[in-house]
């Protein structure tokens, strides 16, 4: 085995690596996958709350943060969501559409997705080795030597699919970046993305467990520079839920001193409609307290915090408030400031923003411009998507494209 020259060596058996390996093996290439962990697919198994949001109905480069949107577009077009769905259908995984755009396996189990990938890899003859952490890759005369503790293999091509730095417990600890740097690849500085944000404000923390739909706005000097919509979840550490995760990357990337995270607690209502409802309340229920009135919209615990933060006594009757006070309340509900102190970082990040610079890989094949025969797939690249199956779609598409490129070059596709 150690003397064998493999056609393709895939480093990392996450979604991108497995897709790349299967694609190469279907093209009759001899493929060896080296995975650092004993257990394969740890991240895939915890994805989507254990249900694996496999892809999205509509995916475009606009759903991603990256240095080169043209490259992202090329790769996504070569393997769009329909092809991902066909691929999994062929492997016997039935999908269901949820919330209008998100695809999950019908049995709600990420394990079904992982098992399908592993069975297909096995069926195609992919050779898989676990507990094989690669710590050195070199290339001499078009032959790659891939090494780790107690092993060394040779291969004609290498696909690096080692992921980023997010959820390091699942195996993605950033070693891939170091390996890429040895080939003079630039790494666009990384930050955690899709990660919960923290606060030290006891009021917000006291709301732990409450979830509600909101719009979040990141503002610098009162200018909105990013926004997200969806549920926010209050936690004992701060803020989580899709809307928060989606804006976390922009928040962490922004170093402006004056940055503020604002929340619209009533995303379904505009200012005029809400003002009308306040006036109606004044006419119909003048003796109601604001606490009673706001309980029509929000859970009691949230009402108490909102009124406290707006300096309004909870028992204050609607009739005893001035127009200005009503306006302050209205503006507050639609434009509340959340005090954010930081984030839960890579430990709880669903994805890493930044990575191998797309300017140094071929925009159609993801082959290294520094070292022919070396490819990159998945999260290791400077591409990160928003919540909703976009990151897996990037993994499937980039894995497929690298695998197909090598198959075409080296064998029959």
Ligand X SMILES: Cc1cc2nc3c(=O)[nH]c(=O)nc-3n(C[C@H](O)[C@H](O)[C@H](O)COP(=O)(O)OP(=O)(O)OC[C@H]3O[C@@H](n4cnc5c(N)ncnc54)[C@H](O)[C@@H]3O)c2cc1C
Among the listed ranges 84-92, 205-213, 358-366, 389-397, the one in contact with ligand X (CB under 6 A) is: 389-397
Name every residue whose Cβ is closer than 8 Å to that of residue 51 and which is 6 or more positions away in sequence. 104, 105, 108, 109, 110
Identify the CA nearest to 29 among candidates 124, 130, 143: 124
Angle between helices 69-78 and 390-410 (to 10 degrees): 70
Among 46, 57, 220, 295, binds ligand X (CB under 6 A): 46
Contact set for ligand X, span 325-364 (CB under 6 A)? 350-351
Please report how many Cα atoms fall inside a 13 Å half-sphere around the Cα of residue 204, on the Cβ side.
20
Residues 39-77 as b/e (b if ≥16 CB within 10 A, e otherwise) read: ebbbbbbebbeebbbbbbeebebebbbbbbeebbbbbbe
d(CA 198, CA 204): 10
Contact flag: residue 53 with ligand X (CB under 6 A): yes
- What kind and span of H or E run contains 6? strand 5-11
CB of 247 to ligand X, least distance (A): 17
Extended beta strands in 221-367, E state: 223-234, 238-240, 259-264, 336-338, 342-343, 351-356
Among 192, 373, 378, 403, binds ligand X (CB under 6 A): 378
Contact flag: residue 246 with ligand X (CB under 6 A): no
Contact flag: residue 163 with ligand X (CB under 6 A): yes
CB of 52 to ligand X, least distance (A): 6
Contact flag: residue 36 with ligand X (CB under 6 A): yes
The mark string for 110-149 relative to ligand X (x by CB under 6 A, - otherwise) is -----------------------xx---------------
- What kind and span of H or E run contains 129? strand 127-129
User: Closest CB to ligand X among 124 and 225?
Assistant: 124
User: Closest CB to ligand X among 134 and 338?
Assistant: 134
* Phi, psi at 374, each rounded to 5°: -100, 130
Joined together, the tokens standing for residue 333 give 């509900």
Contact flag: residue 395 with ligand X (CB under 6 A): yes
Contact flag: residue 8 with ligand X (CB under 6 A): no
Among 16, 243, 358, 371, binds ligand X (CB under 6 A): 16
Joined together, the tokens standing for residue 287 give 């003796």
Among the listed ranges 171-179, 180-188, 203-211, 316-324, the one in contact with ligand X (CB under 6 A) is: 171-179
Contact flag: residue 47 with ligand X (CB under 6 A): yes
CB of 53 to ligand X, least distance (A): 3
d(CA 14, CA 16): 6
Residues in contact with ligand X by the rule CB under 6 A: 11-17, 34-37, 43, 46-48, 52-53, 133-134, 161-163, 166-167, 171-172, 175-176, 350-351, 378-379, 389-392, 395
């Amino acid at each position: 085995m150690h003397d064998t020259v493999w056609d393709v060596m895939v480093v990392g058996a996450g979604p991108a690596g497995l897709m790349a390996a299967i694609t190469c093996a279907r093209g009759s290439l001899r493929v060896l996958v080296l995975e650092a962990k004993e257990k394969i697919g740890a991240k895939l198994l915890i994805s989507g709350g254990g249900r694996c949001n496999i892809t999205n109905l509509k995916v475009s480069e606009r759903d991603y943060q990256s240095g080169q949107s043209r490259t992202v577009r090329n790769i996504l077009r070569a393997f769009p969501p329909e092809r991902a769905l066909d691929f999994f259908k062929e492997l016997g995984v039935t999908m269901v559409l949820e919330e209008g755009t998100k695809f999950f396996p019908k049995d709600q189990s990420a394990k079904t997705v992982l098992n399908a990938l592993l069975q297909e890899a096995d069926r195609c003859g992919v050779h898989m080795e676990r507990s094989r952490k690669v710590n050195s890759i070199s290339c001499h005369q078009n032959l790659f030597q891939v090494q780790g503790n107690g092993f060394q293999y040779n291969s004609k091509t290498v696909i690096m699919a080692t992921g980023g730095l997010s959820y390091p417990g699942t195996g993605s600890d950033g070693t891939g970046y170091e390996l890429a740097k040895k080939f003079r690849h630039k790494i666009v500085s990384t930050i955690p993305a899709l990660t919960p944000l923290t606060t030290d404000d006891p009021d917000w923390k006291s709301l732990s467990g409450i979830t509600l739909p909101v719009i979040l706005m990141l503002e610098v000097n009162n200018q909105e520079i990013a926004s997200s919509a969806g549920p926010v979840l209050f936690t004992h550490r701060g803020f989580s839920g899709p809307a928060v995760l989606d804006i976390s990357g922009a928040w962490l990337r922004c170093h402006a001193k004056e940055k503020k995270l604002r929340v619209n607690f009533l995303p379904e209502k505009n200012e005029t409609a809400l003002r009308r409802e306040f006036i109606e309340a004044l006419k119909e229920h003048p003796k109601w307290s604001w606490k009673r009135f706001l309980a029509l919209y929000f859970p009691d615990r949230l009402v108490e915090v909102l009124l406290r933060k707006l300096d309004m006594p909870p028992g204050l009757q609607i009739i005893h408030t001035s127009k200005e006070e009503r306006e302050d309340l209205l503006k507050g509900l639609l434009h509340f400031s959340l005090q954010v102190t930081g984030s839960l970082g890579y430990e709880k990040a669903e994805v890493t923003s930044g990575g191998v610079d797309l300017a140094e890989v071929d925009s159609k094949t993801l082959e290294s411009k520094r070292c022919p025969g070396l490819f990159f797939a998945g999260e290791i690249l400077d591409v990160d998507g928003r919540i909703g199956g976009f990151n897996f779609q990037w993994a499937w598409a980039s894995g497929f494209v690298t695998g197909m490129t090598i198959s075409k070059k080296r064998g029959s596709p």
